[in-house]
Structure 1
Amino acid sequence: MDENLPSRGEIFVVDDDPAVRETLSMVLSAGGYKVICFADGAALLAVARSRTPSCILLDVHIPGKSGLDILKELHGEDYPAPIFMISGQGDIAMAVEAIKSGALDFIEKPFRGSEIVARLDEAIGAFVRRQAEDTASNIATLHFPGKEPLTRREREVLEQFTAGASNKEAGRHLGISPRTIEDHRANIMKKLGARNAADLIRIVMTAQRHS
């Protein structure tokens, strides 16, 4: 990395609204990040495939391909940096869809600058820690025959859940909101056919015995 850059790394911001780009650029620069803005997804894709930022902020509504389309093209679940979706308050269903497609979390407009910096600091820190830990837990390699496969993030949430973490604790550890943890848990239970929390633990224990 260029030694003239701030040590906190780069953040890519994708939004077609110049005012939003300018606001985020000012707020994040003040927080110690180098900010690179894009007005559409195609410009982001050209750069994001060859250069990995510390984090991406991606608006749901951008011209051309939507933020969701771009997220899928980046393979959000396996992208080596956290991706946040920026969404209006009426976009909750779309935000949930984005999380299923690999977004780490979503930021609702209107947002407060200081809160965004704190959330990104936490998310980037948690992401780096998880990569360092490399998920030593065997939940990363458990097989659930006949069930729809869990994504990497769903396995991380499941690991937190089976360790007894609350939604709030799991969210803090993974750098995402408790509501997003709830969405992941609902998905995990649906995929594994668990009727309740105790049933989910039983399914995991059975898989561990057979692994």
Structure 2
Amino acid sequence: GARAFDDPEMLLSTYAEAPAHCIVTDIMMGDIDGFSFADRIRAMDPAIAIVFMTAWPTTANAVDSVRRYGGLDYLEKPLDEARLLAAVAEGVTWSRQQRGIRARTEGLSRRERQVFDLLVQGHSNKAVAAILALSPKTVEDHRAAIVAKTGANGLAQLIALAQ
């Protein structure tokens, strides 16, 4: 269910006990703006979807909301209810996918995570070895460990997992 907060500090202070999949936040608030709020909530939960809204839309804020602050959407007030509901539904789906990926990849070591990230970007074992200054055999060993830990049965599933 949905829960409203008048004060972003209250949400931040209680978030750990009741995490959400999607947060809709104004850009202009009292002591904290929506972008500072987004930075703080994202530090607590990288898998939270954020939808920004504002009565004072600017192209710069729209771009920043997505590029710098990971916003899923940027809505103008008065809000279009159908678009808001669609954005929240999309946010919940995205957040659940992110949490699923994190659950399957949280057991990876730091090095395995680096190898995973490069592999799913499309780099070959040889390229990953060169980038990370490892031997191709070491990359193969890491790749085998990644497949075992994530339950994926090959590169295609690893890429699907990362998307």
- Contact residue 49 and residue 72 of structure 2 kept, 8 A: yes
Say which of 103, 114, 117 aligns to 1:141: 114
Alpha-carbon spacing, 1:71–1:126, altered in 2? closer, same or farther (3 Å)? closer
Q: Confirm or deny that 1:208 pairs with 2:140.
A: no
User: What's the CA shift for 1:72?
Assistant: 1.7
What's 1:79 paired with?
A: 46
After TM superposition, the structure 1 stretch with the greater mean CA deviation from structure 2, 49-58 or 79-88, is 79-88
User: Using a 3 Å threshold, how does the CA distance of structure 1 residues 41 and 208 change in structure 2: closer, same or farther?
Assistant: same
Distance 1:63 1:97 in 2: 20
Describe the shift of the 1:95–1:47 C-alpha distance in structure 2 as closer, same or farther (beyond 3 A): farther
Partners of 1:80 and 1:94 in 2: how far apart?
A: 22
Distance 1:75 1:130 in 2: 13
Q: Point out which structure has higher relative CO (alpha carbons under 8 A, 6+ apart).
A: 2
Q: Which runs of 4+ in 1 moved over 6 A?
A: none
TM-superposed CA distance for 1:142, in Å, is: 4.9
Other structure's SS at 1:75 match: helix
Q: Which residue of 1 aligns with 2:9?
A: 42
Instruction: Give the fraction of aligned pairs with identical amino acids, expressed as a percent.
Output: 18
More helix by share: 2
2:114 and 2:65 mapped to 1: Cα distance?
25
Aligned residues between the structures: 121
Corresponding residue of 2:75: 107
CA contact (8 A) 2:23 2:49 kept: yes
CA distance 1:207–1:44, change in 2 (3 Å): farther
Equivalent residue in structure 1 for 2:65, among 95, 98, 102:
98
The normalised TM-score by structure 1 is 0.45
* Post-superposition offset of 1:62: 0.7
- Distance (Å, rounded) in 1 between the aligned partners of 2:44 and 2:70: 4
Unpaired segments ≥5 residues, structure 2 = 106-112, 133-163
Structure (1 or 2) with the larger CA radius of gyration: 2
Kept after mapping to 1: 8 A contact 2:51/2:74: yes
